[in-house]
Structure 1
Amino acid sequence: MGAAAILKLERAGFTHEQVDALAEYLDDQAATKADVGAVKAEISAVRDELTAKINQSRLEGKSELAEFRAATRAEFVDLRLELSGMKAESKFEFAAVRSEITLLEQRMTIKLGAMLAIAVGVVGTMVKLL
């Protein structure tokens, strides 16, 4: 507490002991400019630390996202290759089935023709015999 403040309090009717007690109390309780400066420095340090941690987290997040994207792209490429292979395999299998159906159709035509020829022969023989 400054000298001017002490004089004002004494003029206002405070005793010297009261002024001393008040001054001592204020000295113990009041924050000085140095105290405020120290708190500001601590706040600034904490702010800087938090900013650094936030930036680090952002970088880690971006890195993890980039890794995830790369892995996903690789999986899509693998999936496309697998689907392409399955498509080619399916085309080959469908072609084989069509070929087999064509062969079966030809065999059935031959068998039906042979059966018709036999039937005509049997009918012709029966007509001659009857």
Structure 2
Amino acid sequence: MSSDAAKRPQSMDTPNSSQSEEPRLKIPRRSLGEEDVSQRVKELQIRVQEKKEVLRKLNLAKTYRTKWETQDLSTVTNHWLEVCQTALEDLRARLKEGLAGDKGQPQLTLKTLVLNLGIDLELVQLDEEEDCFIT
């Protein structure tokens, strides 16, 4: 029988078989009172709300990034420049109409207008010598 026992596979009750199993954590068990359970539920609900808020913010950031990644930045920049230049030319034309009767006023140039508005000349690509925009 001893030779048969050596040939037989070890049963699950032997100490060697427990090495392949994952170790189990020993958690002390106690009975939770009704107040403990309700407090734990409230804490978990608060954590869930916090996680939902974080998830909402992350989704918002993802949406924002995706939206602006689809547009070519140079296209948007060029469009802004064109609109800005057009608006400045329109403003100068309207101001000239208002100043047409005043003979003592010096001629309103784009450079003067842009500088009075506090805008950098290079930002709007203004040629100071020709008083026109570089396109």
TM-score, shorter chain, exceeding 0.5: no
Q: Which has the larger radius of gyration?
A: 1
